[in-house]
């Protein structure tokens, strides 16, 4: 398994539409494992293939275990499609491609996702709360849609300004032309 490089906002791959997966082989299974390992090493909740520069319709998710029920949803979904939406939630959301930036974002409270696994076997995931938020966020990535596009106009402007200032600060200090994850605080259960 390998930890892959996560692409940051500004990388053109993040605004492209991903292609459906048609080949289910050992290479795809390995890529699924890498995606999950990369997600865990970044302390995120979800990570879509285009975030590591691969334009395939698939994502990894890993929701923190529920202390009461012991439930711990995680896995890799390939060719996911939302087939049911219900209710609404409004809460803070962030993205591994926008490290350190969090804004309130409205999403459906519950969704059902039809997908296949890395071997091409059909599966269905029903989720509410954070899992539902995560699946909606990741499927947006597969269509080249970033969470800032789901924010109110004012918040989107503030998020972009915050991003530019941060990038500028780091360049100015000569740290790097790009942000480093270690320079920023990641909120473990809000970064998708
Ligand atoms: Zn994201």
**56-94 tens-digit pLDDT:** 999 999 999 989 999 999 999 999 999 999 999 999 999
If you measure from the C-alpha of residue 189 to the centroid of ligand 1, how many angstroms do you get, rounded to a whole number? 13
Query: Is residue 191 in some structural domain?
Result: no
**86 catalytic, yes or no?**
no
Query: Is residue 145 in some structural domain?
Result: yes
> How confident is the model over 89-146, as pLDDT tens digits?
999 999 999 988 999 999 999 999 999 999 999 999 999 999 999 999 999 999 999 9
Query: Is residue 192 in some structural domain?
Result: no
Query: Is residue 58 in some structural domain?
Result: yes
Residue 168 has a pLDDT of: 66
Task: Please tell me the total count of domains within the chain.
Answer: 1
Instruction: Supply the CATH number for residue 119's domain.
Output: 3.90.45.10
Distances in Å between the Cα of 66 and the Cα atoms of 32, 71, 72, 124, 130 are: 24, 5, 6, 20, 11
- Give the closest residue to 107 by CA, choosing from 122, 121, 83, 128: 128
Domain of 101? 12-183
If you measure from the C-alpha of residue 10 to the centroid of ligand 1, how many angstroms do you get, rounded to a whole number? 13
Residue 99 has a pLDDT of: 87
Distance CA 182, CA 185 (A): 8
What tokens were used for 75?
């896995």
CB atoms < 10 A from the CB of 80, how many? 22
Whether residue 8 contacts residue 99, with contact meaning beta carbons closer than 8 Å, is answered with yes
Query: Is residue 188 in some structural domain?
Result: no
Query: Is residue 82 in some structural domain?
Result: yes
| Selected catalytic residue, list 5, 93, 126, 138 | 138
Mean of pLDDT values over 176-186:
52
Mean pLDDT score of the chain: 91
If you measure from the C-alpha of residue 68 to the centroid of ligand 1, how many angstroms do you get, rounded to a whole number? 27
If you measure from the C-alpha of residue 192 to the centroid of ligand 1, how many angstroms do you get, rounded to a whole number? 5
If you measure from the C-alpha of residue 161 to the centroid of ligand 1, how many angstroms do you get, rounded to a whole number? 18
Ligand 1 (ion): which residues have CB within 5 A? 95, 192
Query: Is residue 142 in some structural domain?
Result: yes
Query: Is residue 1 in some structural domain?
Result: no
């Amino acid at each position: 398994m390998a930890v892959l490089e996560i692409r940051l906002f500004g990388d053109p791959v993040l605004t492209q539409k991903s292609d459906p997966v048609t080949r289910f082989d050992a290479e795809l299974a390995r890529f699924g494992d890498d995606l999950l390992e990369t997600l865990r090493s970044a302390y995120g909740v979800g990570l879509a293939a285009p975030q590591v520069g691969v334009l395939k319709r698939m994502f990894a998710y890993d929701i923190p275990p529920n202390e009461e029920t012991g439930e711990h949803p995680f896995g890799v979904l390939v060719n996911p499609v939302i087939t049911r939406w219900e209710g609404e939630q409004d809460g803070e959301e962030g993205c591994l491609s926008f490290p350190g930036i969090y804004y309130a974002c409205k999403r459906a409270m519950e969704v059902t996702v039809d997908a296949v696994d890395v071997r091409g076997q059909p599966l269905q995931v029903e989720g509410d709360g954070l899992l539902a938020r995560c699946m909606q966020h990741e499927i947006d990535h597969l269509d080249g849609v970033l969470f800032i596009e789901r924010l109110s106009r004012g918040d989107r402007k503030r998020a972009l300004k915050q991003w530019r200032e941060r990038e500028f600060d780091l360049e100015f200090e000569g740290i790097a032309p790009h942000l480093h994850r270690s320079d920023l605080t990641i909120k473990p259960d809000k970064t998708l």
